[in-house]
Copies of this chain bind each other. A is one copy, B any other.
């Protein structure tokens, strides 16, 4: 093999390796600092827990910057009262939504209690099953906090 051909072969090999490795570099770089994403569960009938969940969301936004983190609060089962129209934390829920927190009620729980969206706080979101929402978010890489 003359030296020109040897060099060409080496160049092909090098290019192939570099190109093959390139698409995986971002994956490796992403792992140390993924975007902050957290789903918080409210499944207690206790207003102290509702306040703790709202405090937790606020602290996460303060610490990381509201623009740098996605936060969902999902209320289901005995926790649904947090999001009913007469909730003692109604003002704080509205404030959290205003600050960019997504607040979600479980329609399964609502059906079980014969409630409609008219019975709930305004501006909240809905999912058919709160527990499935929490489960799927985790499997998509979100952290989970159960205050």
Chain A residues within CB distance 8 Å of chain B: 1, 8-9, 12-13, 15-17, 19-21, 23-24, 31-32, 34, 36-38, 41, 43, 48, 52, 55-56, 59-60, 62-64, 77-78, 108, 128-129, 131-132, 134-136, 138-141, 143-147
**A71 (CB) vs chain B CBs: closest residue:** B135
Q: With A16-B16, A21-B23, A36-B136 as known contacts, state yes or no: A59 contacts B108, CB within 8 Å.
A: yes
Query: When A19-B17, A20-B20 are in contact, do A146 and B146 touch as well, CB less than 8 Å?
Result: yes
Q: Which residues of B contact A63 (CB under 8 A)?
A: 108, 128-129, 132
B139–A141 touching, CB < 8 Å? yes
A60–B146 Cα gap in the complex (Å)? 18
- CB of A77 within 8 A of CB of B55, answer yes
B12 lies within 8 A of A59 (CB): no
Give chain B nearest CB distance to A56 CB in angstroms: 5
Whether the Cβ atoms of A129 and B23 lie closer than 8 Å is no
Report yes or no: B139 in contact with A34, Cβ–Cβ below 8 A.
yes
Q: Give the interface centre of A38, A131, A145 by most chain B CB atoms within 10 Å.
A: A131
Q: A55 contacts which chain B residues (CB < 8 A)?
A: 77
The distance in angstroms between the C-alpha atoms of A70 and B64, with both chains bound, is 25
**Residue in B16, B32, B56, B144 whose beta carbon sits within 8 Å of that of A20 in the complex:** B16
CB neighbours (8 Å) of A144 from chain B are 138, 143-144
- Contact between B12 and A1 (Cβ–Cβ < 8 Å)? no
A74 to B79 Cα, complex, angstroms:
22
